[in-house]
Structures are given as C-alpha cells and as structure tokens.
Chains A and B, each alone.
Chain A
Amino acid sequence: MARLSPENEAIAREILSRYPRRRSALIPLLHLAQEQDGYLAEDAMEHVAQLVGCTPAQVLGTASFYEMFKLEPVGRYVVNICTDIACMLLGADELLHHAEEQLGVRAGQTTADGAITLEGVTCIAACTEAPCLQVNYRYRYRMTPEAFDQLCDDLRAGRAEDVPPHGTLATVRQRIPADRAAGPADPSSGAEPAWMKGASTGGAA
C-alpha cells in the first residue's frame, strides 16, 4: 500500500546507520515495511530500495527468497504448524488436518474473515515440544486439537495478548546510544583496531 511512514523512515535511518554498507540493512528494513502493512507492499519495497541504494528489482529478488516475506496480504494472524520430522512423529499431520477442517481452508490459505492464514512449515526449533506451532512467530508447544481450537477462539476474540499483528516481530528494538556507539567499521578503511596495535599477535603485520 504505502511507503514507510515518517516514523518508520526515522527508525529505518537509525537501523541504516549501524551498517558499514546500506545494503546490509535490506532485510531488517523489509521487516519494518511488513510490520507497517502486514505484508510487503510494492510502494514500500520501492521506498526501501531508495533507502538502501539499490533497484526495486534487487529488493524483490532478495524479498522473494525468504519465506517470511509476504508479497500478498495475509491474515491478521499467520498460524504456522510445524510438520517436520520431530513434530510429524508426534501427530503434526493430524493436527494440520484438524486445523484445515476447523478453519475451512487448506494450508496456505486465509479464512474468509481475514483473521487467520494457515501454513504448514518446516522445523521451527522446538522439537522437544512437539507438535508445535507459531502464531505470528509466538510459540505454542505440545499442541492438541482442543488447544488449537481454543487458540483460534482466543485470536478471534483478541484474547491472545502476547501475539502482535502479523508483521511485527520483536517488540523490543535495539537502541545504540550516540554517546556509546563505536560506529560501523568501514571495510575500505584498512584501520587496525586500537587495542591490537603493538599487540604481538599472529594477526599483526
């Protein structure tokens, strides 16, 4: 829909300032755009291209490689049910089947009310808590069909307080205070760090 808002552009510039090369901020800035709109709108990607200094096609090239970036609108809540080996052994396929029946959609689709997008995903690093899922990247462990139904009720009623809208990842941002920042290390500077000078290391020339 939109370019980054003035507030988000300010955040974007702060993120950009941490990197020796602007292009490195591309993925964090795409997350910021997705946080704003819930998906990656074309205008937002063009804006990000300007900010990092590359073409919109290069932005799309990177964005389309990564599973988390949505190029079309999705539901307010994206429920990712893990169906990889550890979860499969403990009933993930049955859980996904139940979810499809319950929501009336197939994996990859969004419910008619726009509330929930259902996805079957690969390993999300909670194998000892199988079967597990993430809703907007918040974990739910050892899921049962009953727990899944309860989760959907809670999401639709706005009762899942730990789950922000889709697009928002971390709700805490890193802040580097200006008076403490060491600053990005320019790769073309050739600068030897102060504490290595005169140090008898294999690394010193």
Chain B
Amino acid sequence: MAITDAPKIVTSRFRYDDAHTLARYEATGGYQALRKALAMPPAAVVEEVKAASLLGRGGAGFPAGVKWGFCPPGVWPRYLVVNGDESEPGTYKDRMLMERDPHQIIEGVLIASYAVGCSQAFLYVRGEMALAQERIAAALNEAYAAGYVGRNILGSEFSLDIVLHWGAGAYIVGEETALIESLEGERGMPRLKPPYFPAAKGLYLQPTIVNNIETLSNVPWIVANGAEAFSALGAETSKGTRLFAVSGHVANPGVFEVEYGVTTFRDLIYAPVYAGGIRGDRQLKAFIPGGASSPWFFEEHLDLPLEKVTVDRAGSMLGSGAIVVMDETTDAVRACHRVVRFFAAESCGKCTPCREGTTWLERILKRILDGQGRASDLELLLDVADNISPGITWPPKQTTICPLGPSAVSPVASAIRRFRHEFEAHIARNPKASGAVDATGSGAARPAALETPVPFGGHHG
C-alpha cells in the first residue's frame, strides 16, 4: 500500500470549508458513533477502545483505553478533562482539529464520558487560541440545541455538560496535574506524585481522565468502524494514524495525517506529497522528531518508521508529532539555546533543579553564543544537565516532579554530542576563553556519568 493510501481518520472532513458546522458534521456521519455507543453497555465501549490500542496523542503515548480503566471502582463522581493546551514547540495539530472539526472532539468527549461514567467534562483550550475557542463554543451551542449535549442525551439516561474552559498562557499547564490545578483556579504547577494518574485523584481530588484532543478525535471513528478496522492500520505497537507537523527548513511545511508505523521520517520530510525535501536542495543537519522535548535525530535516523517503540529504542520519541527540520546552514548552538530558552521561560519554578537548572543552561548557552563562553562551559552545561536528569539517559531520569526539566536536557545533550566543535568554535571567539576560567570555582572533575560522551541518541538502526 502506498504511504498516501491510508484512510484519513481525524482529518476526514478537512476538505470542507464548513467542516466545523453541525450541518456538515451530521452530513458526513457525525454523531452516529454516539448513537451506536449509547446502545452499548459503557464497559463494552471501554473494551472497544482498549482493543483498538489507541495510544494517547499528547506526547507520552499511553494507551487511552487502559487509562480509562484506571478509575477506582465505586468512587463518584468522575470527571473528564480534555487537554487542548497545545504548546510544545513544533507542535501544531490539536489547534487544527479544534478549529476545523470541533464536533468530532465533542463526540469523542461524549463517548468517553459515557464509557467511563464521567458526570461532567471540561474542555481546556489554550488561552492564546481565540479561533479554536470560538469554533468550540459555537459547536457546543449547536450540539446543546440539537440534544447531543446536556440532559438526557438523545433521549437516554446519559446526561453530561461539557464546559469550555480556557487558559491564560503557560506551557506547563499541558502537564495533566498542572492542567487540573489551573482548572481549579490555581497557578499551573504540577502536583507531587504519587498518585501518578489523575484517574485515582484528579480534579477536586475525584477520579479524572485527562485526554488529549487528537486522542479523543479518534474515538468516534473507532466506535463507528470498530477496533479491528483501526488496529488493522499501523504497526504492531502503534495503531491507526497520526498527525505530524513538519516545520523548519522544508520546501512544503505542513500538518499531515499518516499511517502509524508505515511511513518513515524520510517519507515525511522528503516525499513530494508531504514536506517535499529540504529547501534549496540543501543538506539535512538535524531534526527534532517529536517536539522540543525530544532528543534530536540526524541523517542516519531518516529511515526509521514513525512508530513509538522503534523511535523510543533509537533514543528519542515521537512525542507530540512535531518534526522540526534544520538544514546545514543552522547554527547548532543557536538552535540549542533557542529550545532551552523556551523551557527556562516556562519552568513553573516549583522544583529547584528545573527552576535553577534551566535558567543556568540558558545563561551559559547565551554567553557562549555571545562570544563570552568559557573553556569550562561545555562541562558545566553537562554538569547542570546531570543535576536535572541524572546520567543524562534516555528515557530520562528526573530529579523533578514533571518532565519539563529533563526536556531542557535533550537539546543540550543532542547538540553537544553531535556538534561539539561548533560550541568550541563559539567559545574560541572569546579572547579570554583559553584561560579556562572555571565557572564552578572548584575545578572539580566532571561526574563519572559524563566521562563518556553524552549517552543517548548514539545508537540507531
């Protein structure tokens, strides 16, 4: 099967300009899956989604059906919280789904809430996304009027309010416990774990399922077409399709829905139907495979399939489906600094290794870029990174409550490991650098874990 032959699951209506309206949604099979689900026992709907092996599309890739089964028995009420706080640099897909097919999300929310037994749903949209908020508000208003949302949905016993909620600008709120804090009117800071899943204690300390926009957008298709049809697509451990945003130095940047596990990075970056290759026929230098948090990939990783386990084993992740392509003209230090600067700005400040560590990583990278680097700075960067994420391994260990801190380590480790000479060239611009000023003041040896060059991302195949 050609890579473009796979059915479109979440973008099937994107060819219509009015895909966001109820009329178009109903005319294209919309809300039929809800009717089908309501005729099934709730547990059977959960089983169907479990059988489909739908992996969460937010970044962590946890199976959605399994997550749904984590609510403690007999504890009521339960809530559903939809994570529409898309903010990971490079990522652009959930906003597209919210703006262009909001009813598909609403139907996914309804089916999930029915299946899990959630008494109320909150749809948390990133604050900066005004059009997405408008489209979802309009769609909810239509859906309430048509009897799809609210009391006794379609004449059944199933009742659910879906409340559109919106944030105010904070990347960290994409972390599910921070999202819940924000929904409770607090500063968006992640909660201490355990419990590891809000399914145990979430919103108002009640059982809460937090699902990503793209994840829920798959649910109506799965219910309508069956788990078997869904799991027939994709690879052994990654079923269905996925949205990937390909940005940076490519000829045709865009968001593409591709079959999981079949398409490769090379297909996505070079195929004329996708991103169409590097601009001006330049050479590829590096690419970020799964959002800014992911370790970088290079030429030798191009033929890896877009499949979770394979990419995890190769030392990175598919994360949030965001590929940022850098060509040979890119200054690796500048790119590294730019990604680290993001995490430094977005650290919520709760955990010291992240708050101080990301800040120092950013400052050191900045001075290197400014020609003020010191000979000891590379070791210092790795030392700080090691304090945030001990051993600088992949998957990362963390000294923090949430993965934001280790996310800032990915670009540092990737760039230093591959482009050490570029850092050294920047440092050499500082006339004082040869004096090897030791910024730690101690002259201490680097941690043993760092004696070998940064471990992750090194092996591939």
Partner of A125, one of B92, B116, B165: B92
> With a CB–CB cut-off of 8 A, which chain A residues contact B87?
123, 125
Select from chain A the residue with minimum beta-carbon distance to B146. A180
> With a CB–CB cut-off of 8 A, which chain A residues contact B345?
122
A193 close to B77 (CB less than 8 A) = yes
Bound CA span A43–B170, Å: 25
- Total cross-chain contacts (CB, 8 A): 262
Bound CA span A78–B138, Å: 25
Decide yes or no whether B421 CB sits under 8 A from chain A. no
B41 close to A201 (CB less than 8 A) = yes
> With a CB–CB cut-off of 8 A, which chain A residues contact B69?
202
Interface of A is mostly: loop
Select from chain A the residue with minimum beta-carbon distance to B246. A128
From A1-9, A153-161, A170-178, the one touching the partner chain is A170-178
In this complex, how many residues of chain B approach chain A with their Cβ under 8 Å: the count is 95
Decide yes or no whether B151 CB sits under 8 A from chain A. yes
Bound CA span A24–B89, Å: 28
Bound CA span A3–B227, Å: 53
Bound CA span A62–B126, Å: 16
B42 close to A196 (CB less than 8 A) = yes
Known A20-B120, A185-B120; contact A27-B164, beta-carbon cutoff 8 A:
no
> With a CB–CB cut-off of 8 A, which chain B residues contact A170?
130, 133-134, 137, 166
From B182-190, B218-226, B307-315, B354-362, the one touching the partner chain is B182-190
Decide yes or no whether B254 CB sits under 8 A from chain A. yes
Known A85-B324, A127-B92; contact A173-B247, beta-carbon cutoff 8 A:
no
Chain A min CB distance to B376 (Å): 27
- Contact pattern, A 167-205, Cβ under 8 Å of B = 1, otherwise 0: 001111111110111111111011111111001111111
Chain A min CB distance to B89 (Å): 4
> With a CB–CB cut-off of 8 A, which chain B residues contact A113?
none
A90 close to B248 (CB less than 8 A) = yes
Chain A min CB distance to B73 (Å): 5
From B25-33, B152-160, B392-400, the one touching the partner chain is B152-160
B134 close to A123 (CB less than 8 A) = no
Bound CA span A184–B127, Å: 22
Bound CA span A96–B114, Å: 48
A122 close to B342 (CB less than 8 A) = yes
Bound CA span A69–B341, Å: 21
Partner of B168, one of A67, A176, A189: A67
Q: Report which residue of A21, A25, A185 has the largest number of chain B beta carbons within 10 angstroms of its beta carbon.
A: A185
Decide yes or no whether A138 CB sits under 8 A from chain B. yes
Listed by A's residue number, 9 A-B pairs whose Cβ atoms lie within 8 Å are: A31-B166, A86-B324, A124-B128, A127-B248, A128-B92, A182-B120, A187-B77, A201-B46, A203-B73
User: With contacts A85-B90, A189-B77 known, what are 11 further pairs, Cβ within 8 A?
Assistant: A20-B120, A27-B167, A61-B187, A122-B345, A127-B247, A128-B92, A137-B128, A193-B119, A193-B158, A196-B42, A199-B117
